[in-house]
Chain A
Amino acid sequence: MAAQRAARTKDEADHPSSPVLQFGLDKPLKLDAGTFLAPFQIAYQTYGTLNDARSNAILVCHALTGDQHVANTNPVTGKPGWWEVLVGPGKIIDTNRFFVICSNVVGGCLGSTGPASTNPATGKPYGLDLPIITIRDMVRAQAMLVDHFGIEKLFCVLGGSMGGMQVLEWAASHSERVFCALPIATGARHSSQNIAFHEVGRQAVMADPDWHGGKYIDFGKRPEKGLAVARMAAHITYLSEAALHRKFGRNLQDREALTFGFDADFQIESYLRHQGMTFVDRFDANSYLYLTRAMDYFDLAADHGGRLADAFAGTRTRFCLVSFTSDWLFPTEESRSIVHALNAAGASVSFVEIETDRGHDAFLLDEPELFAAINGFIASAARARGLSA
């Protein structure tokens, strides 16, 4: 079973069920680690049609465990795209009107070059030989994809969580290419607490004997137990105490009484185990290490002399930030400090905090107030950009 899944991981990494853009040795990706990645590839999905002026493109940036399948059935899980509530024909991000691009991040495991991809130098998976990837590297690669479409300026870049970090990076390092930016439930840096949670997850993966120092694919193995534990711990941070209590309370799982053992007596235990198990089916453990590291390393102010406002100096991009009251992974204060920096930079910025008990994951869910804010922001930006309805 594990061997089969290891083979599939390999397959999806090298030959994904998405269009792929390949960059040869002549077009290396410059990495913050001080080296270059070449050759490399980007797997992506697009929806809708690019208009003649190439002015209606929207780039969606996915979160840590997301992928390019934002609005189509996911080929790995068979489930709907991860943001189909928002993106699609007639939806708020209307693919009848906009040309929507979403690419798997570099370092990911669904077809863009990542640790499970074949290292051309060895013919084996990169594993830990892949250089550390940063958020800025991901964005640099996306910019090369956007170039490929001949798009000079994106109408909008949006995303939540790690996707929001990419949005901020786009706005900071390619501001002239972003008409409007929508970073949701994110921060301009990863907090100490968030790094701590990521480290727990990484240590869980590395403690699994099947991890084999990162070379598990060569051994026909996968560190599934470790990755599942990492996912379980992380999943708690995506919810809120109130939502957990509302959904599970202290309810028992398929039993009348406590068993006085270590079975999943409680529904919450059973739920978390399920989350862990389904996650390892679709995600590569080394990718999890690389992408959590990318988030940990993100510190936009540090990249600009320690002053966040300087990251946005002179920007003409319109911003709308969104946070959720019960999000303790990226609390409202994180968004507010970005707003203050944007104010100091004289940027056009809107900021809504949405009341919900659904925690960090609220950005992926059907939240009417979130949709109303996005809709209002996109509609007014589209008018300003001269995009007809």
Chain B
Amino acid sequence: MSVNRAQRVDLEVVADLIPPNSRVLDVGSGDGLLLELLQETKQVDGRGLELSQRGVNECVARGLSVIQGDADTDLEFYADQGFDFVVLSQTLQATRNPKVVLDQLLRIGNRAIVSFPNFGHWRVRFSLLIKGRMPVTKDLPYSWYDTPNIHFCTIRDFVNLCEELGATVEKATALDANGQKIGLSMPWWFWNFFGQQAVFLLKR
């Protein structure tokens, strides 16, 4: 498990943003790694929503509070401000309507935490510009025809969407190819070029 966690540095970054004993909804909770991490280290009251039934059944068998559901259709059933934090990690780009999903996150959670792969990273740009091919990288290992990721965005695109939805960026972190945080004082264009992943803390 620690191996898996090492591969998902963004989870640690997300966990760092959440104070102990919070109520947390993890949308796209997958194999439950983040929920488990948060329960162990922050004693949160954590819930998960996950598309894959297999993932859900495994989580429940491990004692996590997870339901099967689709971020695109099932978030509307959650009450306003029902959670301190709603987390969407590495899932936004796979939703059919990211704008609606993000709007729901901001409605359900006092704060929303969103992590996503940055399509503005230089490797992606390089692949398209020089090779003329859709990028296939370590973080984005799918080919164009079998990818579940249908709505990629860059860090700048995401910041624009937040503005459109009236969300305030309380904190943003970009991770480079080695999973290291990029220095805080760097301008957006720098993050957008060198950040492979981004983690945003939002409030509305």
Residues of A within 8 A of B (CB): 318, 320, 339-341, 343-346, 348-355, 369, 372-373, 375-377, 379-380, 383
Find out whether the CB atom of B63 lies under 8 angstroms from the CB atom of A349. Answer: no
Choose one: A349, A355, A373, A383; the contact of B61 (CB below 8 Å): A373
Residue of B nearest to A377 (CB): B60
Tally B residues with Cβ within 8 Å of A.
21
* CB-based contact A376/B63 at 8 Å: yes
Tell me the minimal C-beta distance from B21 to chain A in angstroms: 14
Contacts of B68 in A (CB 8 A): 351-353
Complex Cα gap A351–B56 (Å): 8
Structural contact, B77 and A344, CB atoms closer than 8 A: yes
Q: Do A343 and B57 touch across chains, with their CB atoms under 8 A apart?
A: no
Query: In the assembly, what is the distance between CA of A340 and CA of B79, in Å?
Result: 10
In addition to A318-B65, A373-B61, 11 A-B residue pairs with Cβ atoms within 8 Å of each other are A339-B67, A343-B78, A352-B53, A352-B57, A353-B53, A353-B56, A353-B68, A369-B57, A372-B60, A372-B61, A375-B61
Can you pick out 29 interface pairs between chain A and chain B where the beta carbons lie within 8 Å of each other? A320-B60, A339-B77, A345-B79, A346-B82, A348-B45, A349-B65, A350-B56, A350-B64, A350-B65, A350-B66, A350-B67, A351-B60, A351-B68, A352-B56, A352-B57, A353-B53, A353-B68, A354-B57, A369-B61, A373-B57, A373-B60, A376-B60, A376-B62, A376-B63, A376-B64, A377-B63, A380-B63, A380-B64, A383-B63
Complex alpha-carbon distance, A350 and B61, angstroms: 10
Residues of A within 8 A of B45 (CB): 348
CA distance A331 to B63 in the complex (A): 24
Q: Given A320-B60, A372-B57, A346 and B79 touching (CB < 8 A)?
A: yes
**Can you list, as one digit per residue, whether each of B69-108 has a CB less than 8 Å from chain A (1) or not (0)?**
1000010011100100000000000000000000000000
Q: In whole angstroms, how far apart are the Cα atoms of A348 and B56 in the complex? A: 15
Chain A CB within 10 A, most for which of B47, B56, B66, B68: B68
Chain B residue with minimal CB distance to A380?
B63
CB-CB under 8 A from B57, the residues of chain A are 352, 354, 369, 372-373
Contact of B53 among A339, A355, A375, A383 (CB under 8 A): A355
**Given known A350-B67, A373-B61, contact A344–B56 (CB-CB < 8 A):** no
* Nearest CB in chain B to that of A381: its residue: B63
How near does chain A come to B100, taking the closest CB pair, in angstroms? 17
> Do the beta carbons of A344 and B79 come within 8 Å of each other?
yes
Knowing A340-B74, A369-B57, the reply to whether A349 touches B47 (Cβ < 8 A) is yes
State the CA gap A340–B65 with chains docked (Å): 14
Considering the complex, give the chain B residue whose CB is closest to the CB of A354: B57
Q: How far is the CB of A70 from chain B (nearest CB, A)?
A: 23
B79 contacts A379, C-beta separation under 8 Å: no
Query: How far is A355 from B77 in the complex, measured between Cα atoms in Å?
Result: 25
Please determine whether A340 and B77 come into contact, CB atoms closer than 8 angstroms: yes
Q: Which A residues lie within 8 Å of B66 (CB)?
A: 350-351
Closest to A319 in B: B65
State how many angstroms separate the Cβ of A389 from the closest Cβ of chain B. Answer: 12
Nearest CB in chain A to that of B83: its residue: A346
The closest CB in chain B to the CB of A375 belongs to B61
CA distance A346 to B86 in the complex (A): 13
Give chain B nearest CB distance to A310 CB in angstroms.
Answer: 12
